[in-house]
Amino acid sequence: MSEQSISDGLNMIPYGFYAVTSQNGDDKNVMVLNWFSQVSFEPQHVAIGLQQKAHSHELIMHSKKFAVNIFHQDDEEVVKQFSKSREKNPDKFADANWKPGTVTGVPVIDEAAAVLECEVVHVYDTGSGHSVVIGKVVGGEVRKEMEPEDTLTVGHVGWSYSG
């Protein structure tokens, strides 16, 4: 299989367009995340893939908490405001509607269709400049009823972050 075939295959995976929020002390951040999946039923664990140089990685490593904000396709513009790096947009919460999560205290975005609050249970260095972070889901809230096909994805936005 060629490298191009591998990339083409990876581009066939539907990637969500989520916002991951984190906080350590007074320092908080929100970033767009595509690599996210449930990885166990009991207990309910999820995995996220994070670039190690991302500010959110540092916050999550220190606080051991994060939240995944899941959006409906209609809320594309809400998520896009978080897509710039911290260097380009140092205060991503300036124009955001948010509140502290009910379980972890990590910021959660008001417009999210659903929020999963997580506590870190394992971190794996992939050797590629990214970590896989396993989080136990300790809190959650569904705010908008929707079907999985209504979830905002990278394809819906017209972007690509795979391959």
Return the CATH number of 3-35+51-116+141-157, one of 2.60.40.1080, 3.40.50.2300, 3.30.1330.80, 2.30.110.10: 2.30.110.10
What are phi and psi for residue 26, nearest 5 degrees? -85, -10
Percent of the chain topping pLDDT 90: 75
Distance CA 141, CA 153 (A): 20
Cβ(96)–Cβ(81) below 8 Å: yes
Most confident range (mean pLDDT) of 3-7, 54-58, 94-98, 156-160 is 54-58
pLDDT(160) > 80: no
Read off the pLDDT of each residue in 82-95 and give the average, rounded to a whole number: 83
The mean predicted confidence, pLDDT, of the chain is 93
Res 150: pLDDT = 96
DSSP state of 32: E
Give the pLDDT band (50/70/90) at residue 1: low
Res 52: pLDDT = 97
Nearest alpha carbon to residue 135 among 152, 117, 147, 153: 117
Interval 115-143: pLDDT, tens: 999 999 999 999 999 999 999 999 999 99
C-alpha gyration radius of the chain: 15
Distance CA 152, CA 48 (A): 17
Res 102: pLDDT = 97
Domain ranges in the chain? 3-35+51-116+141-157
Tokens of 18: 């989520």
Cβ(152)–Cβ(71) below 8 Å: yes
Residues counted in the chain = 163
For the entire predicted model, the pTM comes to 0.94
